[in-house]
Homo-oligomer: A and B are copies of this chain.
Amino acid sequence: MTLLVQKYGGTSVATIDRIKLVAEKVRGAKQAGYDLVVVVSAMAGETNRLLALAHEISEIPDEREKDVLLASGEQVSVALFSLALKELGQPSRSFLGHQVRIETDNAYGKARIRNIDSTKILQSLQAGEVVVVAGFQGVDEDENITTLGRGGSDTSAVALAAFLNAGACEIYTDVEGVFTTDPGICADARKLARISYDEMIELASTGAKVLEIRSVEFAKNFAVPVHVRSTFSNVEGTWLVREDETMEDVLVSGVSYDKNEVKITLLRVPDRPGLAAQIFGPIADAHIVVDMIIQNASADGTTDLTFTVSKGDYKRALSIVEKTAPAIAAKGVNVDTDIAKVSVVGVGMRTHAGVAAKMFQVLAEEGVNIEMISTSEIKISVVIAAKYTELAVRVLHDAFIGKQGTV
């Protein structure tokens, strides 16, 4: 029998009624002849509720205990989901990260999956059970509970599909697939029938929330076919596939944005070799991911060094940088929480020039000032004031993708 890994996010299990609905759907797939491993997230709102409790105690909660706390959310979901399947007469069994076991490194809050032991899952499948696995969580080699970061259930699902050699990994969500941009902002946004892993990685890393970036990296590395689709309809969604030649005909596949970053600037630092290492070493040691970095050298031998981190990390990053600042003789530290990153992504950029120039031109015509720029082979990102986000997305979508039919 073909094995499918299905992942249902928080909105798909937000209420008992939805859990029952999704359980019916899963039983349908089982009765259609598939073996099924179902990965579920915490009920929508639960992770935030738990985080709020932690923050009532501590501004910057200890990472290990925070993971113990947050992992309880998925524990509730798998138990309820498995109960719902059994209530329908479908044998089922839930597994937590430590039971599977899903082994990760020990980077609490953003752990990486190292290995998955498939023994118990295969036994359970062989017994005719639908296997329900808690997303988002794992254990390190010392049995400490770890979590994979926001959206980590996608990674759990794709990793399980990879280690179990599944036929496909279906990511069920509350939208019908991957869109050219956020339909909530841009009325012309259209669903993509397929997209390359690399484009999806860039879209995810620049703010498209439909998939978590590591899950796409996993899918790419293990060539897992991923189907992103809606829990609440049977319409085909978007397939994540290997890049092929026809894809390069499209210059820009999507326009993404991210309001979840904060810009930190070290002012007038005396410029000298080793400076960046001194600043970013301690930040890396704290497992904080820095996104963009720019450095502007001045004629007076000092430099302003600016970087962005996610809002979730910025308080920790700031407290680290404020310790570093005196040691490197910086004149001060500035923080701007009111920024957004807007990006255009497309494998067509590899073979077509002028995308960046056109992007800057389009934004300039609207009076949008560009504060930072970062590019890759298939992506251009700019940081702008947060208030221009929607405007920028719309004009860039119009300029690069326009109103033509299905992409």
Contact = CB atoms under 8 A, between A and B. Distances in A.
Interface of A: 16, 19-20, 50, 53-54, 56-58, 61-62, 64-66, 68-69, 71-73, 75-76, 78-80, 82-84, 86-87, 93-94, 96, 98-99, 143-145
Contact of A87 (B57, B66, B78, B79): B57
Given A58-B83, A58-B86, A61-B83, 14 more contacts: A16-B57, A20-B57, A62-B83, A65-B79, A65-B82, A65-B86, A68-B82, A69-B76, A69-B83, A72-B76, A72-B79, A96-B145, A99-B143, A99-B145
A66 B83 CA distance: 8
A83 B57 contact: yes
Provide the main secondary structure of the chain A interface: helix
Contacts of A61: 83
Contacts of A94: 64-65, 68
A223 to B, nearest CB: 31
A222 to B, nearest CB: 26
Nearest to A56: B16
Leading 4 A-B pairs by shortest Cβ distance: A69-B79, A68-B79, A72-B72, A72-B75
Contacts of A19: 57
B84 A57 contact: yes
14 contacts: A16-B53, A53-B76, A57-B80, A57-B87, A58-B87, A62-B83, A65-B86, A66-B83, A68-B96, A69-B79, A69-B80, A75-B75, A96-B145, A98-B98
Nearest to A23: B57
Given A16-B56, A20-B57, A143-B99, A75 B69 contact: yes
A397 to B, nearest CB: 42
Given A57-B83, A83-B54, A98-B98, A71 B75 contact: yes
A164 to B, nearest CB: 19
Contacts of A80: 53-54, 57, 65, 69
Contact of A79 (B66, B84, B96): B66
Contact of A98 (B73, B78, B79, B143): B143
A62 B86 contact: yes
Contacts of A50: 76
A303 to B, nearest CB: 38
A46 to B, nearest CB: 10
A166 B23 CA distance: 47
B62 A82 contact: yes
A76 B87 CA distance: 27
Contacts of A99: 143-145
A123 to B, nearest CB: 10
A78 B68 contact: yes
A14 to B, nearest CB: 12
